């Protein structure tokens, strides 16, 4: 087995070097990776056929579902999108070495707050072989080292894509090879979670179960979400057609997405008129409705065309229901009353609070971030869809010329605190 | 014993209300607290005398040190500073409800990124009864709920100060009383660390041992630092007098501070000339020097007038030593060579990287933040001295009028991503 401790230690050392790389070089590397993947598409497709072949037994025995099996597949279209994604990351602004502020603390003593990479990012993902290229390009652009662990089902495809990436970076002698790493087994992943001295952030991309397991088995900060229990509240002042259109989109457009709606709350004052229309619309769309009495768990993420529905006495009850059972992901109010909209958006404690818009908009690309690491329901560091910015932190650079604190304590010098 | 689970749950509910309070009211509350503490100074001093009396046995038996005993004491000066501190927080900008950006995602669909409080903050601190007023006022200003656990040694003083704060907030019916809580025993603190469903952030203020214990015993993010192993590197191009002046200040001005220097690195090319002058200066200042052979642990925080000293072969060796043994707190290079300064500041992976300035400047007040929660050596969320900003996160508000994702996927509508 690979020595994960050594990989992590070397990735940390490499991260000091990647932190200082200039933007032009990073973009050259990204474009080289995209070019080389393009040149080797057939090799990737061959590898993917092997992964699909190997997974067929698991599919037939029911060990993996049809939707997981589908996600293993990397066809030409998916790979073209993946290559375009890498080129898009090259075009994004460099998030590193940006000056947040420059402040004169005292005459001749200047403080700068500058963005920098976090350091070493561990990424654990399932199926979907395009994740490896996406995350690696985000890591390179943000100057972080990365240790990747993909799913067993796509191990052959991942290894081929990783080799192309690794060969590409190796053409640039300024880029430290130890910054990009792929590990394979579960045991190695478990060891990685223990390397809190060297790894600064873990990003899990996968099932609820995977994310929960990781959250419970590491001291390293974890960025992401275990579940997406999104709500839509049809307020007493809602426009019925808007509500039905948004609920249908939020449930049916991609039912297994984390930003799909799971629970619809309906104000009691409109329930009598609203429910028949709602029921008809959901029936036509093939959505199963579970009314209050049939719901045993308000924090259930269906992941398919199924909804929990509750009649609430007031907007306050709706807000309290969401803050109690929601996952802090994305929640929406449908109303024509602006005061109620603002109340809902201020008091619902979620990463995304929406007025008259589908919860499905919660996504880094749709928010205009260009690329996304994932969606966070954390309350610290980064919340909601996370782009390149979420892979950075900052450091303080202080420029003096022999300045000491003693002179300030003795009153010989004074702080000016003037922003420059 | 108090039901900590219930306290945390109620604090969470209250945090939704404090998040939406307006700035004027929050400032009124802070000024009322300052006024009421001022009116009750003698009661606080009486309580403090009891704490001092109770701790005398521990002092005599050596269970607590003289410096801990000194920190228990709250005299009139300290209380005046504490009161002024609360009034200063009232004058600071409100960190909540600030618009980070407003972006048109598509025609009629507008996304706002808005700062908001984190939620519920747990604070565990030792000795120093002024911390309770400082942290509570920062929590009120930033709209967070807070659960405070003070040291046993100052429990009587803390309880009196807390009662004054609590009575003050109770005069404002808009302010939810459950937002401010004081707990007392170790068992309660341990229970608090388990409430990761309701508590969003833990801030420990105290010894290395306390912070490490907390980091190892909670799933809640911890903001702070366990140790401050700060370095000063005397480069081959350093101005000797600047170096000696800065090292003396960084070690002697307040030796037990986390930002005091612990290790001095000296470039071999100047060692012969530098060391006799350095030794003389340290001797005069009463600082004990441990040269390389006498040092058994390069990550030792002396906390008193004592230093580790190492001769390094190059600036690269100095950087590597710091990245290996440092705590990522604050590290300084003394040099007249600007390239070396920038190299050091780019490659040393610490919250503060200084050129020709004492490490003792690492402090929220000195950085111009007005007040500080503590100093963080984390690599995510907040790094270095943390002011009010570190107690906030953001949420995304999306304003639509019936917008659905389906129409974008079908190509009927297009994203514009225009910053407004």
Residue B359: band (very low, low, confident or very high) from pLDDT cuts 50, 70, 90 = very high
pLDDT, one tens digit per residue, over B267-314 is 999 999 999 999 999 999 999 999 999 999 999 999 899 999 999 999
CB proximity B202 to A under 8 Å? no
Do the domain assignments include residue A267? yes
Q: Verify that B112 and B219 share a domain, yes or no.
A: yes
Chain-centroid distance, C-alpha B165: 22
Q: Verify that B135 and B247 share a domain, yes or no.
A: no
DSSP bridge partners of B385: B375
Q: Verify that A219 and A355 share a domain, yes or no.
A: no
Tell whether the model's pLDDT for residue A369 goes beyond 60.
yes
Low-confidence winner among A174-183, A196-205, B61-70 (lowest mean pLDDT) = B61-70
Q: Residue B104's domain is classified under what CATH number?
A: 3.40.605.10
Q: Verify that B116 and B12 share a domain, yes or no.
A: yes
CB proximity A57 to B under 8 Å? no
Q: Indicate which of A144, A406, A407, A420 best probes the interface with B, i.e. most B CBs within 10 Å of its own CB.
A: A406
Do the domain assignments include residue A368? no
Q: Verify that A219 and A242 share a domain, yes or no.
A: no
Tell whether the model's pLDDT for residue B109 goes beyond 80.
yes
CB A10 within 8 A of CB B324: no
pLDDT, one tens digit per residue, over A71-114 is 899 999 999 999 999 999 999 999 999 999 999 999 999 999 99
Domain enclosing residue A293, as ranges: 230-361
Q: What is the mean pLDDT of chain A?
A: 96
CB proximity B361 to A under 8 Å? yes
Tell whether the model's pLDDT for residue A2 goes beyond 80.
no
Residue A130: band (very low, low, confident or very high) from pLDDT cuts 50, 70, 90 = confident
**Which B positions 214-243 lie with beta carbon below 8 A of chain A?**
215-216, 219, 221, 223, 239, 241-242
Q: Verify that A92 and A184 share a domain, yes or no.
A: yes
pLDDT, one tens digit per residue, over A228-287 is 999 999 999 999 999 999 999 999 999 999 999 999 999 999 999 999 999 999 999 999
- Nearest-by-Cβ selection for B402 from A242, A383, A415: A242
Mean pLDDT over B159-182 rounds to: 97
CB proximity A49 to B under 8 Å? no
Highest mean pLDDT among A2-6, A215-219, A331-335, B211-215: A331-335
Q: Residue B251's domain is classified under what CATH number?
A: 3.40.309.10
Mean pLDDT over B58-83 rounds to: 90
3-state SS, one letter per residue, for B25-63 = HHHHHHHHHHHHHHHCHHHHHHHHHHHHHHHHHHHHCCC
DSSP state letters, A381-411: S--EEE-GGGGEEEEEEEEEEEE-SHHHHTT
Q: Verify that B241 and B102 share a domain, yes or no.
A: no
pLDDT confidence of residue B1: 55
SS3 A217: coil
**Given CA atoms A16, A19, A20, A22 in this order, what sign does their dihedral have?**
positive
Contacts of B396 in chain A (CB under 8 A): 351-353, 362, 367, 383-385
In this prediction the ipTM stands at 0.95
Q: Verify that A262 and A215 share a domain, yes or no.
A: no
CB A407 within 8 A of CB B246: no
Domain count across chain A: 2
Q: Verify that A169 and A41 share a domain, yes or no.
A: yes
Tell whether the model's pLDDT for residue B129 goes beyond 70.
yes
Q: Verify that B254 and B270 share a domain, yes or no.
A: yes
Q: Order of strands, edge to edge, in the sheet holding B261-267?
A: A418-419, A99-106, A109-117, A392-403, B352-357, B330-334, B230-234, B261-267, B306-312, B288-291
Q: Verify that B38 and B148 share a domain, yes or no.
A: yes
Q: Verify that B58 and B139 share a domain, yes or no.
A: yes
Phi, psi dihedrals of residue A311, rounded to the nearest 5°: -90, 130
Query: Measured between alpha carbons, how far is A347 from B18 in angstroms, rounded to an integer?
Result: 10
CB atoms within 10 A of CB B293: 6
Residue A1: band (very low, low, confident or very high) from pLDDT cuts 50, 70, 90 = low
Q: Which helix (H) or strand (E) holds B193?
A: helix B186-193
Looking at per-residue pLDDT, the higher value among A382 and A129 belongs to: A382
CB B360 within 8 A of CB A400: no
Do the domain assignments include residue B418? no
CB proximity B118 to A under 8 Å? yes
Tell whether the model's pLDDT for residue B71 goes beyond 90.
no
CB proximity A65 to B under 8 Å? no
Tell whether the model's pLDDT for residue A378 goes beyond 90.
yes
């Amino acid at each position: 087995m690979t020595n994960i401790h050594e990989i992590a230690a070397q990735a940390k050392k490499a991260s000091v070097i990647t932190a200082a790389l200039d933007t032009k070089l990073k973009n050259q590397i990204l474009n080289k990776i995209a070019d080389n993947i393009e040149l080797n598409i057939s090799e990737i497709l061959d590898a993917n056929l092997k992964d699909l072949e190997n997974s067929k037994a698991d599919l037939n025995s029911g060990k993996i579902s049809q939707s997981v099996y589908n996600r293993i597949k990397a066809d030409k279209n998916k790979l073209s999108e993946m290559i375009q994604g890498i080129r898009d990351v090259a075009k994004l602004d460099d998030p590193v070495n940006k000056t947040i502020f420059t402040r004169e603390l005292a005459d001749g003593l200047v403080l700068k707050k500058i963005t920098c990479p976090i350091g070493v990012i561990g990424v654990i993902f399932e199926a979907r072989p395009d994740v490896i290229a996406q995350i690696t390009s985000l890591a390179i652009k943000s100057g972080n080292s990365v240790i990747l662990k993909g799913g067993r089902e796509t191990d052959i495809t991942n290894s081929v894509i990783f080799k192309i990436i690794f060969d590409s970076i190796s053409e640039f002698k300024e880029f430290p090879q130890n910054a990009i790493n792929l590990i394979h087994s579960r045991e190695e992943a478990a060891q990685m979670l223990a390397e809190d001295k060297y790894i600064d952030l873990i990003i899990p991309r996968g099932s609820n179960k995977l994310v929960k397991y990781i959250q419970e088995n590491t001291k390293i900060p974890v960025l992401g979400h275990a579940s997406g229990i999104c709500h839509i509240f049809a307020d007493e002042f809602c426009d019925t057609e808007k509500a039905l259109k948004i609920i249908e989109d939020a449930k049916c457009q991609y039912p297994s997405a984390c930003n799909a709606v799971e629970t619809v709350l309906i104000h009691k004052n409109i329930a009598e008129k609203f429910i028949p229309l709602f029921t008809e619309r959901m029936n036509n769309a093939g959505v199963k409705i579970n009314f209050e009495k049939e719901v045993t768990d308000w924090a259930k993420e269906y992941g398919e065309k199924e909804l929990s529905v509750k009649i609430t006495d007031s907007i306050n009850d709706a807000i309290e229901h969401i803050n109690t059972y929601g996952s802090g992901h994305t929640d929406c109010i449908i109303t024509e009353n602006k005061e109620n909209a603002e109340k809902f958006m201020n008091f619902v404690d979620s990463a995304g609070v929406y007025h008259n818009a589908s919860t499905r908009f919660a996504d880094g690309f749709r928010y205009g971030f260009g690329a996304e690491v994932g969606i966070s329901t954390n309350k610290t560091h980064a919340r909601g869809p996370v782009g390149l910015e979420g892979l950075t932190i900052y450091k303080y650079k202080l420029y003096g010329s022999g300045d000491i604190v003693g002179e300030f304590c003795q009153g010989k010098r004074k702080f000016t605190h003037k922003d420059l």
